[in-house]
């Protein structure tokens, strides 16, 4: 027997309408290319989104067409985040840090009909413009004149009224490509329904927990996995938003001057900004929470933020394929009386599944996957299913390497899960170092090395070894005032925690560790660099 409730499509237009009707006075602030701030209300944004919807329609975009953006975190990009899906087209944010050749291939596969380009990236955009063929281009923010149209002009020429008509919640709303660290970038095609449910899920109190009283700073780029869903979550909650634009800016000032309460970004950003936040001693007491993900954050850094700056750090784990949020790490009531050291250890785990997400820990036998126990020790591959997880990739045959035959996404992440449901990533399956037939976790070694006060950044990679197959090799960035050779001290520190064969034979000290297009340590480039500089061996 079917129930008798309304059939009501879960569509992003409802998020926008709600934000306008209920929170029309809330503000979006953007750092402009000249460093000044642009600010307006949700009500003003709403009118511009409706104009933009008319403008995009006038340019010939129809339901299902892909429309790309090549832009920083700005109010125009936010307008596009709503206008494109709300007319039934598909928002495709391009990663501005990819090479011209990679981008051309992605745009070709996506068959983007129109590209919105942020003028601050005009020069680099030119590099791949010729390769992508005769796409129509609309520019904003100081875009040179050789575009098909200017954004502001388009908005002026059309009416501020538009009736949304998303008939089916399963229409595609967005297309994001994976960052390609593990191979070729692959397209993930989100639906209105999946993004709507992801928005509700992350806004739960024990997840991002955004409220009307928050001022949210998404430092995660809007091309990285839909900015972790924040543009939708913040507006549905009625929170103010501060968008950092494209230029590195003084984060301490941005936080202090705008009363930021929640900020989100990868650990590298927080490692870099910590000394600045600590030294400048501006009033950052508004900042109640950091949402950190994309890579593991070290317990030492979590402790530094919580103890020295009084900011709660919440570790999140996910993937582009998961819209992207899968787990979130907050302490339970039962943890309140634990020692600080135990608390940081729990917080450094990647967290418990967001309600709505199912995890399983598996090992592969010749015929099937066997589920492993959640005992905090057994390591297995994490598999996921949820209403906001991809069921296959865009324009690509699904393989059993990616999706299981019984409907789970194979994340390729190796982890333990404890009895309370806290997952801890041990490594990417492909990054686990195999030495003499035994496994060594690069993440565990990195986390331990980051506890040394003179270590700023570290990447441990597996390098080929004739005798053992592979050996761990540590590449370290030291704090400015550190002694240059502290290899022995680091080895000693690791010896207290790990078996002898885990200790890297070699440490190399460098000024910088290369980063991927989304700001994570780029171990593939790092290995190539080590080889080209003859540093291995
Ligand atoms: P992406 O789709 O580019 O966001 O990459 C997803 C991958 O990033 C995951 O499969 C993990 O390997 C890694 N990742 C994401 N969040 C975390 C985290 N909090 N800790 C460790 N690894 C993470």
Q: How do beta strands 369-371 and 358-364 pair?
A: antiparallel
Q: State the pLDDT confidence band at 419, using cuts at 50, 70 and 90.
A: very high
Find out whether the beta carbon of 324 lies less than 6 Å from any atom of ligand 1.
Answer: yes
426-435 pLDDT, tens digit each: 988 877 888 8
Q: What is the pLDDT of the chain when averaged over all its residues?
A: 92
Taking the CA of residue 425 as reference, the ligand 1 atom at the shortest distance is 21
409-417, strands of its sheet edge to edge: 369-371, 358-364, 380-385, 409-417, 423-428
Residue 82 has a pLDDT of 98
Q: State the pLDDT confidence band at 176, using cuts at 50, 70 and 90.
A: very high
343-367 pLDDT, tens digit each: 989 999 999 999 999 999 999 877 7
Residue 525 has a pLDDT of 86
- Measure 233 CA to ligand 1 centroid, in angstroms: 20
pLDDT higher than threshold 80 for residue 484:
no
Q: State the pLDDT confidence band at 323, using cuts at 50, 70 and 90.
A: very high
Residue 134 has a pLDDT of 62
Question: Please, are residues 333 and 323 in contact by the beta-carbon 8 Å criterion?
Answer: no
Q: State the pLDDT confidence band at 182, using cuts at 50, 70 and 90.
A: low
pLDDT higher than threshold 80 for residue 248:
no
- Please tell me which of 130-134, 177-181, 390-394, 395-399 the model is most confident about, judged by mean pLDDT: 390-394
Nearest CA to 329 out of 420, 422, 464 is that of 422
Find out whether the beta carbon of 178 lies less than 6 Å from any atom of ligand 1.
Answer: yes
Q: Which ranges of 246-363 does DSSP label H, i.e. alpha helix?
A: 251-258, 267-280, 299-303, 340-347
Nearest CA to 461 out of 512, 519, 523 is that of 523
Residue 144 has a pLDDT of 65
Average pLDDT score over residue span 305-330: 96
Distance CA 382, CA 173 (A): 27
Average pLDDT score over residue span 77-87: 98
For residue 521, the tally of other CB atoms under 10 A from its CB is: 23
Find out whether the beta carbon of 315 lies less than 6 Å from any atom of ligand 1.
Answer: yes
Helix (H, G, I), strand (E, B) or coil at 259: coil
Domain ranges of the chain: 13-25+36-190, 433-532
Tell me the two tokens of residue 32.
């402009």
Find out whether the beta carbon of 240 lies less than 6 Å from any atom of ligand 1.
Answer: no
Name which of 217-231, 343-357, 493-507 the model is least confident about.
493-507
pLDDT higher than threshold 80 for residue 482:
no
366-381 pLDDT, tens digit each: 778 899 999 999 999 9
Find out whether the beta carbon of 112 lies less than 6 Å from any atom of ligand 1.
Answer: no
Average pLDDT score over residue span 463-490: 85
Taking the CA of residue 321 as reference, the ligand 1 atom at the shortest distance is 2
**Superfamily covering domain 13-25+36-190:** ANL, N-terminal domain (3.40.50.12780)
Find out whether the beta carbon of 269 lies less than 6 Å from any atom of ligand 1.
Answer: no
pLDDT higher than threshold 80 for residue 249:
no
Residue 428 has a pLDDT of 81
Question: Which CATH number applies to 433-532?
Answer: 3.30.300.30
Q: How do beta strands 380-385 and 27-31 pair?
A: unpaired
């Amino acid at each position: 027997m079917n129930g008798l409730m309304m059939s009501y499509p879960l569509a992003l237009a409802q998020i926008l309408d709600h934000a306008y009707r209920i929170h029309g006075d809330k503000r979006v602030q953007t750092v402009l290319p000249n460093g000044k701030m642009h600010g307006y209300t949700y009500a003003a944004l709403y009118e511009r989104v409706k104009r933009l919807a008319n403008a995009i329609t006038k340019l010939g975009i129809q339901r299902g067409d892909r429309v790309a953006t090549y832009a920083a975190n700005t109010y125009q990009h936010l307008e596009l985040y709503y206008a494109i899906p709300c007319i039934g087209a598909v928002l495709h944010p391009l990663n501005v840090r990819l090479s011209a050749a990679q981008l051309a291939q992605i745009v070709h596969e996506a068959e983007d009909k129109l590209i919105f380009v942020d003028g601050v990236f005009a020069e680099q955009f030119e590099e791949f413009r010729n390769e992508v063929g005769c796409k129509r281009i609309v520019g904003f923010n100081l875009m040179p004149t050789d575009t098909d149209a200017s954004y502001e002009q388009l908005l002026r020429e059309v009416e501020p009224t538009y009736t949304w008509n998303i008939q089916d919640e399963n229409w595609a709303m967005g297309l994001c490509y994976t960052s390609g660290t593990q191979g070729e970038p692959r397209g993930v095609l989100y639906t209105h329904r999946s993004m709507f449910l992801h928005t509700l899920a992350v806004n739960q109190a024990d997840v991002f927990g955004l409220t009307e009283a928050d001022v949210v700073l998404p430092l995660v780029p809007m091309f990285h996995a839909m900015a972790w869903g924040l543009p939708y979550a913040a507006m549905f909650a009625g929170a103010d938003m501060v968008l950092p634009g494209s230029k590195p800016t003084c984060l301490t000032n941005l936080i202090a001057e705008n009363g930021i309460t929640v900020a989100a970004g990868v650990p590298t950003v927080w490692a870099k900004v910590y000394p600045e936040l600590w030294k400048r001693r501006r009033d950052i007491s508004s900042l109640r929470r950091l949402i950190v993900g994309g890579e593991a954050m070290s317990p030492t850094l979590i402790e530094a933020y919580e103890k020295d700056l009084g900011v709660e750090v919440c570790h999140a784990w996910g993937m582009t394929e998961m819209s992207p949020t899968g787990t979130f790490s907050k302490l339970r009531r039962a943890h309140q009386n634990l020692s600080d050291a135990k608390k940081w250890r729990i917080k450094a785990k990647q967290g418990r599944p967001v309600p709505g997400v199912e995890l399983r820990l598996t090992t592969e036998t010749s015929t099937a996957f066997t589920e492993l126990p959640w005992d905090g020790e057994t390591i297995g591959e994490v598999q996921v299913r949820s209403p906001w997880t991809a069921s296959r990739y865009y324009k690509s045959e699904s393989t059993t390497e990616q999706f299981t035959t019984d409907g789970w996404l194979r994340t390729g992440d190796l982890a333990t899960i404890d009895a309370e449901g806290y997952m801890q990533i041990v490594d990417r399956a492909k990054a686990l170092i195999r030495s003499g037939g035994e496994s060594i976790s690069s993440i565990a070694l990195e986390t331990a090395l980051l506890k040394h006060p003179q270590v700023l950044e570290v990447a441990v990679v597996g390098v080929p070894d004739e005798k053992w197959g592979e050996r761990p090799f540590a590449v370290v960035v030291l704090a400015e005032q550190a002694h240059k050779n502290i290899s022995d001290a680091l080895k000693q520190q690791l010896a207290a925690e790990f078996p002898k064969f885990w200790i890297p034979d070699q440490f190399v000290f460098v000024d910088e560790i290369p980063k991927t297009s989304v700001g994570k340590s780029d171990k593939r480039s790092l290995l190539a660099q080590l080889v080209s500089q003859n540093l291995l061996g």
